[in-house]
Amino acid sequence: MNRTHLLRSVALAAAAAAVASWTVLRADRPESSLERIRREGVVRIGYAPEPPFAFRTADGRVTGESPEIARAVFRRLGVTRIRWVQTEFRSLIPELKTGRFDVI
């Protein structure tokens, strides 16, 4: 067995071991929020109506500084559907913790 053949064999074995271990580790790890959001294609965003940061227009569209930034960020992540969840400002963190929405 020449040196090149030996190195290729070792590299192939290392790659196979890496893929196998990644598969085992991946199977035991729960799905992350981002993975779920990408799989479902929709993100739930909690907001409090606090103009100019976030508010609904007369036609019902959620807009403002935060919603426009969120749209741009999630568009880059490949998520174009946003479900807006309105709540009171003081409830944003507690409701995020309960899973009512994915991000604020």
Q: Where are the domains of the chain?
A: 1-30, 31-104
**pLDDT at res. 7:** 59
Query: What stretch of H or E contains 46?
Result: strand 42-47
Kindly state the average pLDDT of the residues 5-31. Answer: 63
Whether 40 and 77 have beta carbons less than 8 Å apart is answered as: no
Its pTM stands at 0.71
For the chain, the maximum distance between any two Cα atoms, rounded to a whole number of angstroms, is 77
**pLDDT at res. 66:** 96
Which is more confidently placed, 103 or 21?
A: 103
Can you give the three-state secondary structure of 54-96, one letter per residue?
Answer: EEECCCCCEECHHHHHHHHHHHHCCCCEEEEEECCHHHHHHHH
Class of domain 31-104: alpha beta
Whether 27 and 67 have beta carbons less than 8 Å apart is answered as: no
pLDDT digits (tens, 9 = 90+) for 54-94: 999 999 999 999 999 999 999 999 999 999 999 999 999 99
Whether 47 and 25 have beta carbons less than 8 Å apart is answered as: no
pLDDT digits (tens, 9 = 90+) for 27-65: 678 999 999 999 999 999 999 999 999 999 999 999 999
**Phi-psi region at 69: left, alpha or beta (left = phi > 0; alpha = psi -120 to 50):** alpha
